[in-house]
Structure 1
Amino acid sequence: MNITPARIESMFRSGAIICRILQCAISITMLLISPACAQQSFDNVAGSWSGSGSMKPSDGPRERVRCKVDYIIKNAGQSVKLNLRCASDAYKMELSANIDQIGNMLSGNWFESQYRQGGKISGKNDNGLIEAKVESDTITALLTVRTKANRQSFVMESPGAWVSQVSIDLFRDQK
């Protein structure tokens, strides 16, 4: 059997192509696995939390508000269902939301039953800091939620909405 230089070059070229394909496959696999390993989760908020703070209605003075929130974690920590109840002397709010997370990106929906409003949620979760945008046909609000150990702070800004600012400190309820 006589192997010509052109045939040897073709074999090396084929081997190099196969090697490149394997390198690409390994790189893609590592990229897919790495985010899954480093992925944020909602596990640090699981359970019931309660606390107080203040809210600023657009048509009146700042009011004290008391809140309770239950976080139900699903999908191996990548989804959360939350039920939030808040009350001041003049207002009552009952909000539920379903939020999913892919990597550190958040998406989901919400509904407030007292005022019959709902919409979508989008944002990101980076190491216990959630920055999100809540939207409906009539409002847009920016949220910042920080969770550290058994303490959580919640700040909402929504200029022009019926409640323009909310600030609440929550603590994990003892079991």
Structure 2
Amino acid sequence: MGLDMNKSKLLFVTAVLALAAPGSASAASLDGTWSGGGFVKPSSGDSEKVRCRVSYDRQTDKVFGVTATCATPSNKIHQTGTVLKVSEDRYVGDFYNGQFDISGRVRVVVHGSRQTVTFSSPKGTGKMELRRR
């Protein structure tokens, strides 16, 4: 696999790490550890499965710190970031990873004890489902 392909895959894993939001409508319940998986689809390559473990720590009523580890069959990434609550069940954010020069947008919709995370950038797209651990 070429460097551009690996960089594109890292983009999507980075998006999830940087800005995934946890799976509960209550701000107080965002704290904790979540895990799950999905796929990443680089604009210049094939889809690849991804697995993540994400921990959240409340900073304010609407902002949560994020620490995460994600892996694809070809890469592993550790990252920190923040997420912003924009409505009762939705979170959004931008991300940037200087190590791989990757940036994009993350959107999260909460469904009870699960969350759907979608992410996109000029380098591709991805989607994941996470659950509370």
Report the TM range for the smaller structure's normalisation.
Answer: 0.5 to 0.7
For 1:45, the equivalent position in structure 2 comes to: 30
Report the CA distance between 1:171 and its aligned residue. 0.6
TM-score normalised according to structure 1 size: 0.53
- CA distance in 2 between counterparts of 1:136 and 1:88 reads 17
**Does the aligned pair in 2 maintain the 1:50–1:172 contact within 8 Å?**
yes
- Pair 1:133 & 2:94 matched: yes
Q: Structure 1 unaligned runs (5+)?
A: 1-39, 100-105, 107-123
- Whether contact under 8 Å (1:44, 1:149) holds in the other structure is no
What's 1:60 paired with? Answer: 45
Equivalent position to 2:110, from 144, 147, 155: 147
Offset at residue 57 of structure 1 (A): 3.0
1:126 maps to a residue whose letter is S
Cα-to-partner distance string for 1:14-34 (whole Å, 9 max, x where unaligned): xxxxxxxxxxxxxxxxxxxxx
| Aligned partners of 1:41 and 1:78 also within 8 Å | no
Whole-angstrom distance in 2 between the partners of 1:71 and 1:41: 13
State the identity as a percent. 27
SS in 2 for 1:142: strand
- What count of residue pairs does the alignment treat as equivalent? 107
Q: What's the TM-score once normalised by structure 2's chain length?
A: 0.67
Structure 2: unaligned runs, 5 residues or longer: 1-24
The higher radius of gyration belongs to 1
Task: For 2:58 and 2:92, locate their aligned partners in 1 and report how far apart those are by CA, in whole Å.
Answer: 19
1:73 maps to 58
- Once residues 52 and 97 of structure 2 are traced to their aligned partners in structure 1, the CA distance between those partners, rounded to angstroms, is 22
CA distance in 2, matches of 1:168, 1:143: 11
The structure with more helix, counted as a fraction of residues: 1
Does the C-alpha gap of structure 1 residues 140 and 98 become closer, same or farther in structure 2, counting only changes over 3 Å?
closer
Give 1:128 shift: 1.4
Aligned 8 A contact 1:42 1:79 in 2: no
Alpha-carbon distance between aligned partners in 2 of 1:145 and 1:54, rounded to the nearest angstrom: 15
